[in-house]
Structure 1
Amino acid sequence: MNIQISKAALGDAEAVTEIYNQGIAERASTFETKQKTVEEITDWIRGQGERYPILTAHNEHHHVVGWASISSYSPRDCYRGVGVFSIYLRDGYRGQGIGKKLLQALTEEAERIGYWKLTSRIFQFNAASQNLCRSCGFREVGIYEKHSKLDGRWIDCVIVEKIIPRNIN
């Protein structure tokens, strides 16, 4: 499959919204429970800027089939080089290497911007996301037990991280 990775454009907002809302409905990757609107995602894309990139994966028909982003780990200056990443794929496009291409591109973008570490939390039962991170060189640091409730059920999260050696001074 021919996949192109690019920075998200405002025109991608509808597809990014659909993919994120699918992730919310599946209850396998986010504690978010409220579906997002295209307007909310448009504002998010508009507001991210250079420091917090959003990348999209487009198939050969130029349809967005996945996205990945970096958000702030903490507002404290000492953590300016640590980013929290998210990645979502449209159902029907998982298990085809698209997530790996997206996460590798996001890591390259993080390196270019100056991040020294990417981190995330993965639901402990989400083996596919854990495998994706391992395949991209992330290590599992530990588990946040009972990190939050989702639909009345406690969820444990696996903490993953990847150091970007080039940016360690």
Structure 2
Amino acid sequence: MTADVTVRRADRADVPAILEIYNEAVVNTTASYDLAPVSLESRLTWFDHKQQAGWPVLVAEQEGRVVAWATYGPYRDKAGYAGTVEHSVYVHAGGRGGGIGRALMAALLADARERSLHVMLGVIDAENAASIRFHENFGFVVVGRLSQVGRKFDRWLDTVYMQLMLQTEAPTTSLR
């Protein structure tokens, strides 16, 4: 873990920083398939919904500044999927690859395990090799690929589904 990073639960006052990190990724990367920046109002609504539903939103602070955030929530809105969650981790552009994301992911996984959740999924742009490696380092495995399901920057994009079994040992095979 990066020595000067503090991971904590987010509060509503963190939402502008969360928004700034997210919108940078929207505009410059395929980490999100949103095509345009989202508004502060929509991100506040998102945050309030997460809080009301009891889903975690975590932030990483460095030198008193929010530099990353992470969350998870329901994979599908059906009772049979209650033990499965999908997560997101976003790190500010200048901090990627420096251990901030690892600190957040470790805290996110600990929270999910405390809640006795069964599976955590990540849906990742198939060309994002750094994110795929990041997830593999936590034991996630590629379990599926969807071809040309998204479109951004004037090209079709594939996604990979990565899965981590939270309460049992991880699967030993990968479809990658």
Mark the runs of 5 or more structure 1 residues left unpaired by the alignment: none
* Alignment-derived partner of residue 58 in structure 1: 61
CA distance in 2, matches of 1:100, 1:40: 27
Q: Which residue of 2 aligns with 1:7?
A: 9
Do structure 1's residue 165 and structure 2's residue 151 form an aligned pair? no
Q: TM-score, normalised by structure 1?
A: 0.92
Give unmatched runs, 5+ long, in structure 2: 169-176
Q: Following the alignment from structure 2 to structure 1, what is the Cα–Cα distance between the partners of residues 42 and 8? A: 21
The CA distance in 1 between the partners of 2:36 and 2:151, in whole Å, is: 14
**Which runs of structure 2 are paired with 1:1-169 in the superposition (5 Å)?**
1-49=3-51, 51-59=54-62, 61-165=63-167
CA RMSD of aligned residues (A): 1.3
Task: Report SS of the residue matched to 2:103.
Answer: helix
Equivalents in 2 of 1:151, 1:28: separation in Å? 9
Indicate if the aligned counterparts of 2:116 and 2:167 stay in contact, CA closer than 8 A: no
Q: Percent identity?
A: 27
The residue type paired with residue 63 of structure 1 is R
Residues in 2 aligned to 1:96 and 1:27: alpha-carbon distance in whole angstroms: 18
1:52 partner letter: W
Equivalenced residue count is: 165
4+ runs deviating over 4 angstroms: none
In the aligned structure 2, how far is the partner of 1:27 from the partner of 1:89? 12
Letter in 2 for 1:148: G
